[in-house]
Chains A and B, each alone.
Chain A
Amino acid sequence: MKRIFFLLWMSIAFMHVAKAQIFFTKNGMISFFSKSPLENISAVNNQVVSVINTTTGEIKFSVIIKGFLFKKALMQEHFNENYMESDKYPKATLNGTITDISKVDFSKDGDYAVNMDGDLVVHGVTKKITTPAVIAVRAGKFAATSSFMVLLADYNISIPKIVENNISKSIEIKVNCNFEPKS
């Protein structure tokens, strides 16, 4: 019995040393796109902070809302002032897990399809999301990409009647982050 425990302990301890790795990015990209009959709205944020634990699959994102840049200055102003209320809710965060991280061999280059589960906090509202993602391993580093839809109504972001045709009710969010190992 003791021997079994010892072996178990050894294996956990060993796993810990060999595989536990934390990867991060400070300038990941998140963009969104809203397609509506009257106009398309898109914005890009290149200051996304994210951390992944490749052992446990734990993944965290933090995005400064004011970091979203629009082509039209007025859109950006309204985005921050009226819709996202960036002074009140300066950040959006995601706290999740890549449920099938074990599928990914971080020592071998290749594209791995995975799934992520997590709590997305936007505009002060927390919602569970599940989305497929791709982890592309290249020479010890990797890129994670994903795209998913969110409903504005889920996050208490209301669109006034008068601009109903300008803003889509569901927004496509794209994530593209290049992770590097924490030294």
Chain B
Amino acid sequence: MLLLILTATFNRVQAQDTTDLMSQLEKEAGNKEQVNYISSAFKTTRLINGHTIENVAKGVLDVKISHRFGTIGGSEGGAYNLFGLDNATMRMGFDYGISRFLMVGIGRSTYKKTYDAFFKLKLLRQSTGKRNMPITLSYIPTIALKTSPKPPADQKNYFSSKFSFTHQLIIGRKFSEGTTLQIMPSFIHNNLADFSGDPNNLFAVGFGGRQKLTKRVSINIEYYYQLSGHKLEEKTDPLTGAITRNASINSLSVGFDIETGGHVFQLHFTNSRAMNESGFISESTDEWSKGHILFGFNISRVFTIGKSK
């Protein structure tokens, strides 16, 4: 009888074996996955106006249609102008993922009839596991070509005068499933400044982040702080004294990302009209405090056209 019980327990030990082997195999499989890169830090590659640390995946084309309407308050806004909806500037953009680390994009906006092109290079990827990397770091050089005439009409403009260049670093970290924050030091070089006395080189630092409200909706904030001495100042006509350009104001935007399967809708309020880097960082002139807030949206639709592997 005793022997029987003994053997039965022995058999149970045997059963335990499968569990042991299982946990051993699982551990091996877990070790094989050496570096765990974070994913889904943001819903799309743009926060509101500017970039996030996200890239489009390899072989994926992201078509972006963005609009900024007129100001809700002020002379452009009010009920008569349907709170700015009568006016709109738009940008259409096409972004494509060349590899996991590199995406390229082109765009055209009605704001100063600007063409822009950029590439976005992921230098570091936030990860845990074998390689522990606390942040994601991206480098984004952008070139913009303003084809509308520069303000002083009597000035001789070369083709090269129409270019501005922006270099951005984005340092971002996904803190939790719902929270991601990033810092965006930015440098802008205008080949030709709009007015005499304007600096050609402008520095700004952006701050932004998102907080998910539900699985598919997040609230985003984006703010670009222009360093002192790097703001474009108010310009007046020397003869009439009329203001020809308002002083630049730091860009502040608040918005929502709404993801619906293949689309991401971004609805936001901002004081920037331009949708290219040099424009919204250094040329925003509307002030939140005066009610000069613009409603806008970006729609992103992705198409898988290349091979993902």
Where the two chains meet, the residues of A that have a C-beta atom closer than 8 Å to any C-beta of B are 5-6, 8-9, 12-13, 16, 20, 22, 24, 26, 47, 49, 51-53, 55-56, 58, 60, 62, 64, 66-67, 70-74, 77-78, 80-82, 87-88, 160, 162-163, 166, 182
Contacts and interface: CB of A to CB of B under 8 A. Distances in A.
Given A16-B14, A47-B29, A74-B57, A182 B302 contact: no
Nearest to A83: B215
7 contacts: A6-B3, A12-B7, A22-B17, A22-B21, A62-B25, A74-B262, A160-B260
Contacts of A71: 304, 308
A72 B216 contact: no
Contacts of A77: 39-40, 57
B28 A60 contact: no
Interface residues of B, number: 37
Of A51, A160, A163, chain B has the most CB atoms within 10 Å of the CB of: A51
B7 A74 contact: no
Interface string B1-19: 1011001101100110111
B177 interface: yes
B182 to A, nearest CB: 18
Contact of B29 (A26, A72, A81, A166): A26
A58 B18 contact: yes
B26 to A, nearest CB: 5
B135 to A, nearest CB: 18
Nearest to A53: B18
Interface in B23-71: 25-26, 28-30, 32-33, 39-40, 57-60
B19 A60 contact: yes
A140 to B, nearest CB: 18
Nearest to B304: A72
Contacts of A80: 39-40
A13 B8 CA distance: 9
Contact of A64 (B4, B33, B308): B33
A72 B308 contact: yes
B304 A53 contact: no
A26 B215 contact: no
Contacts of A81: 39-40, 215
Contacts of B22: 49, 51, 60, 62
B26 A62 contact: yes
B301 to A, nearest CB: 10
A86 to B, nearest CB: 9
A163 B177 contact: no
Contacts of A49: 22, 25-26, 29
A108 B216 CA distance: 54
B18 A160 contact: no
A58 B17 CA distance: 11
Contact of B21 (A24, A47, A56, A74): A24
Contacts of A12: 4, 7-8, 11
A22 B82 CA distance: 74
Contacts of A62: 22, 25-26, 29
Contacts of B58: 73
Given A9-B7, A49-B26, A78-B261, 14 more contacts: A12-B4, A13-B7, A16-B10, A24-B21, A24-B25, A26-B28, A56-B15, A62-B25, A62-B26, A72-B304, A73-B58, A74-B60, A74-B262, A81-B40
B14 A53 contact: yes
A41 B268 CA distance: 32
Interface string B276-288: 0000000000000
